[in-house]
Amino acid sequence: MPAILFESQYNPPAAFFAELLGAEALYLEAHDNYRKQTYRNRCLILTAQGVQPLTVPVIDGNRSEKVLTSAIEIDYRQNWVHRHWRTLQTAYGGSPYFEYYADYLHDIYVQKPSLLFELNLSLLRLQLRCLRLRLPIHLTPEYYPSPTPVSLLDRRDWLTPKAAAPAEPDRTSVRPYRQTFGKDFVPGLSILDLLFTQGPAAGSFLT
């Protein structure tokens, strides 16, 4: 299977990781322009009230001129780390494996990396280890137009958190598992949902 090209994502959906099965490498797009309302700075989790987005506030994300995603700074003037962590604790504190991963995850948040790209990369490396997915991560040396000029499976912006977009990739690439809330399986959630509920067995639900 060829290497796969994805944009940087914040706690990506499980389908992101299912695409990496069998891939020889993961390339992260380091030269794309930042886009709002994407998984670049948000993820979806399941709470008692239903699906809830967690969004990392960024500086200059609303400017009209283009800014590289890799240069976008996190806005720590907002106490988002505390809010995200409290929300994760409330949603998953009673799940079987929250405490199993909590310290590793919390250590990344409290480091307060200045760039969104750095935060996403640190979280991604942790999640790959938790899923026992061993593949090299490369950053693109330049922007690759579509179709890519090199042998890469282009999955940039293949997944979207927009409500109008169907979560079809999850229906075929992630096997349903028991979630914390509700009786019906909810697709499209962050990999954190799968890890907190299934622990070391999480990788077996990626197909």
pLDDT in tens, 3-20: 999 999 999 999 999 999
The arithmetic mean of pLDDT across residues 32-40, rounded, is 94
Q: Place 137 in a pLDDT band, splitting at 50, 70 and 90.
A: very high
What pLDDT is attached to residue 162? 77
- Mean model confidence pLDDT for the chain: 92
pLDDT digits (tens, 9 = 90+) for 53-81: 999 999 976 665 789 999 999 999 999 99
Residue pair 22/134 in contact (Cβ under 8 Å)? The answer is: no
Residue pair 8/120 in contact (Cβ under 8 Å)? The answer is: yes
CB neighbours of 88 closer than 8 A, spacing ≥ 6?
Answer: 45, 54, 98, 105, 192
pLDDT of residue 177 exceeding 60 = yes
